[in-house]
Chain A
Amino acid sequence: MRKFVTVIAFMVVAIGLFAGYSNFGIPQIEPAPPPIEEKIDLGSMTMDQYVALGERLFNGKGTCKLCHNSLGRAPALDAISTNAQERLDDPRYEGEATNTEEYLIESLVSPSAFVVAGFGKKGTNDTESPMPDASSGSISFSQAELTAVIAYLQDNAGLEITVEIPSDLEPVIEDDEDEDAEPREAFTEIRDIVENFDCEACHTITEEAGDAGPKLSTIGAKRDRDYLRRALLNPNADIAEGFEEDLMPDDLGQQIYASELEILLDYLTALK
């Protein structure tokens, strides 16, 4: 029995020494906690939360409110309860949608499928919409985000929400910036830059386009490089006469690469 106790004591002491060394002999470095999941879990979301997500997307990432506002640059969306059906019945309508929900999706993904009279790009006789495809380009809504926006639009217009919260889709990334995404390649062509950042949604540069922002076709003659740089990175610093504040997104500086900014400035200053 004495041997037995000795053996056990010996083992306990040995383990105690190992544990003691691990606790006190070496520095205790506390590893960083797991990165916080920025993704929204659709599975545990109520419809109210989903609608709220749609509203945030509408005002934020989607930049929808730039045009779809009380200023009437784009069709108002609070009347879709009646408008949508009217448009489907319109003889000019050639899309594939059969109900309000489908019509809304179609308008978001291929805006030119039906252009409301008077809202087309200038000179296209209402066949081409100035609105970008919300599922690609700088907006790049995911399927779940598109549906969320539609849920918001339906809710906002007093309609019954017909969309369902998708559960088997990639979760939405709420942050504007996808932290894990591969950095995109910088554009080197001015056309690509203008297209990517959708400048022509609001500005007329070469051809007739949006008029929410100042016309830029001869801007190089009026403004110098520094002014333009400020106007791009901090748009509310100077507001051209007759234009609204807070219309131009102020996060361009976070999205555009330095090289692209220089190309853009080269281009704009040369417009005389």
Chain B
Amino acid sequence: MKIPRLLQAVVVIAGVYFGFLIVFDYLLGAVIPKSLLTMYMFFVAAGVFMVFTYDEEKTRELVAPVKALVEDPAKRGARNLVFTLIPLLIGYSVYSQLQPGFEAPVELRTIHPAPPSTAKIYGKRVNLLSLENPFRKVEKEDPEKFAALVSDGAAVYIKNCQYCHGDKLDGKGPYAEGLNPTPLNFQDIGTIAQLQESYLFWRITTGGPGLPKEAAPWISSMPVWQNFLSEEEIWKVILFLYDYTGHRPRSWEH
């Protein structure tokens, strides 16, 4: 028996929808954000519509059941049912969307806001566009000394940072559970691998309070490390972050 095309279309869309849910939520264990899924499904539905309607004949086949439902006198019962159910469904969805809930409103933070061109760090005005890690050049000049610098950085990290960012730099330190937003996972390709060292220096030294306005709300619990660590210590920690994760800092020149 041939499946009606309308049913085919519905099955495909529903299949993709549940496919996303199953793959992400259950198989991969990383939920797919609802806002994104909505947009995904909008375009999946558009794609399905396109494939099912580019041919005149097949389109007629697709809409035939709908047409029949609306026009065929024999389907009066079904028509009445559908025409009652649809407004009710719409009404229900409007109701459930407007109903006040206990969920806190969605908060949006730009995780990597554009840095200012200069920032005041250690009482000095620093040009973030040209700032470089003073130890980075050691990497080529003297690999042994560089290794020592990295291990210095590791010591600083273990004493100060790992409580939140984790001893594997994966953002899962002992205190991470208590924080929202959770500490950044440096292993992730989307974090430090995308950034220049000067950016990290800015974020570490000025912490949550140093975030610009577009990164509001300022709920980051990152301390202002320039009050606790020396400039050299911070540069060494940055070396360690890249060294341990194996990422390279972003740079604009080869």
Q: Which residues does A use to contact B, with CB under 8 Å?
A: 25, 27, 29-32, 179-183, 254, 257-258
Please indicate the chain B residues that have their CB under 8 angstroms from the CB of A254 in the complex: 123
Please indicate the chain A residues that have their CB under 8 angstroms from the CB of B39 in the complex: 25
Chain B binding surface, main DSSP class: mixed
- Cα distance A27–B125 when bound, in Å? 32
Nearest CB of chain B from residue A250's CB, rounded to whole Å: 16
- 8 nearest CB pairs, A to B: A27-B108, A32-B213, A183-B125, A183-B124, A29-B214, A31-B214, A32-B212, A32-B214
Using A29-B214, A183-B125 as known contacts, list a sample of 19 further A-B pairs with CB atoms less than 8 Å apart, ordered by residue number in A: A27-B108, A29-B108, A29-B110, A30-B213, A30-B214, A31-B214, A32-B212, A179-B125, A180-B118, A181-B125, A182-B127, A183-B124, A183-B126, A183-B127, A254-B123, A257-B123, A257-B124, A258-B122, A258-B123
Nearest CB of chain A from residue B8's CB, rounded to whole Å: 26
Interface residues of B in 68-126 (CB under 8 A from A): 108, 110, 118, 122-126
Shortest Cβ distance from A256 into B: residue: B123
How many residues of B are in contact with the other chain, CB < 8 A?
14
Nearest CB of chain A from residue B41's CB, rounded to whole Å: 13
Please indicate the chain B residues that have their CB under 8 angstroms from the CB of A32 in the complex: 212-214
Most-contacted residue by chain B among A32, A180, A254, A257 (CB, 10 A): A32
Shortest Cβ distance from B117 into A: residue: A180
Please indicate the chain A residues that have their CB under 8 angstroms from the CB of B126 in the complex: 183
Nearest CB of chain A from residue B33's CB, rounded to whole Å: 12
- Cα distance A179–B39 when bound, in Å? 44
Shortest Cβ distance from A27 into B: residue: B108
Please indicate the chain A residues that have their CB under 8 angstroms from the CB of B123 in the complex: 254, 257-258
Nearest CB of chain A from residue B253's CB, rounded to whole Å: 22
- Cα distance A257–B231 when bound, in Å? 14
B216-227 contact mask (Cβ, 8 Å, vs A): 1 or 0:
000000000000
Please indicate the chain A residues that have their CB under 8 angstroms from the CB of B214 in the complex: 29-32
Shortest Cβ distance from A32 into B: residue: B213
Please indicate the chain A residues that have their CB under 8 angstroms from the CB of B212 in the complex: 32
Please indicate the chain B residues that have their CB under 8 angstroms from the CB of A179 in the complex: 125
Nearest CB of chain A from residue B215's CB, rounded to whole Å: 9
Shortest Cβ distance from A181 into B: residue: B125
Please indicate the chain B residues that have their CB under 8 angstroms from the CB of A181 in the complex: 125
Nearest CB of chain A from residue B168's CB, rounded to whole Å: 31
Please indicate the chain A residues that have their CB under 8 angstroms from the CB of B118 in the complex: 180
Please indicate the chain A residues that have their CB under 8 angstroms from the CB of B110 in the complex: 29
Please indicate the chain A residues that have their CB under 8 angstroms from the CB of B124 in the complex: 183, 257
- Cα distance A250–B31 when bound, in Å? 57
Nearest CB of chain B from residue A218's CB, rounded to whole Å: 31
Nearest CB of chain B from residue A176's CB, rounded to whole Å: 14
B124-150 contact mask (Cβ, 8 Å, vs A): 1 or 0:
111100000000000000000000000
Please indicate the chain A residues that have their CB under 8 angstroms from the CB of B125 in the complex: 179, 181-183
Shortest Cβ distance from B106 into A: residue: A27
Please indicate the chain B residues that have their CB under 8 angstroms from the CB of A29 in the complex: 108, 110, 214
Please indicate the chain B residues that have their CB under 8 angstroms from the CB of A27 in the complex: 108
- Cα distance A254–B123 when bound, in Å? 8
- Cα distance A254–B110 when bound, in Å? 32
Shortest Cβ distance from A21 into B: residue: B39
- Cα distance A180–B117 when bound, in Å? 10
Nearest CB of chain B from residue A24's CB, rounded to whole Å: 10
- Give 26 pairs: A residue, B residue, CB < 8 Å, sorted on A: A25-B35, A25-B39, A29-B108, A29-B110, A29-B214, A30-B213, A30-B214, A31-B213, A31-B214, A32-B212, A32-B213, A32-B214, A179-B125, A180-B118, A181-B125, A182-B125, A182-B127, A183-B124, A183-B125, A183-B126, A183-B127, A254-B123, A257-B123, A257-B124, A258-B122, A258-B123
Nearest CB of chain B from residue A30's CB, rounded to whole Å: 7
Please indicate the chain A residues that have their CB under 8 angstroms from the CB of B213 in the complex: 30-32
Please indicate the chain B residues that have their CB under 8 angstroms from the CB of A182 in the complex: 125, 127
Shortest Cβ distance from B126 into A: residue: A183
Shortest Cβ distance from A35 into B: residue: B116
Please indicate the chain B residues that have their CB under 8 angstroms from the CB of A258 in the complex: 122-123
- Cα distance A266–B76 when bound, in Å? 100
- Cα distance A228–B123 when bound, in Å? 21
Shortest Cβ distance from B35 into A: residue: A25
- Cα distance A181–B118 when bound, in Å? 10
Nearest CB of chain A from residue B151's CB, rounded to whole Å: 27
Please indicate the chain A residues that have their CB under 8 angstroms from the CB of B127 in the complex: 182-183
Nearest CB of chain A from residue B43's CB, rounded to whole Å: 11
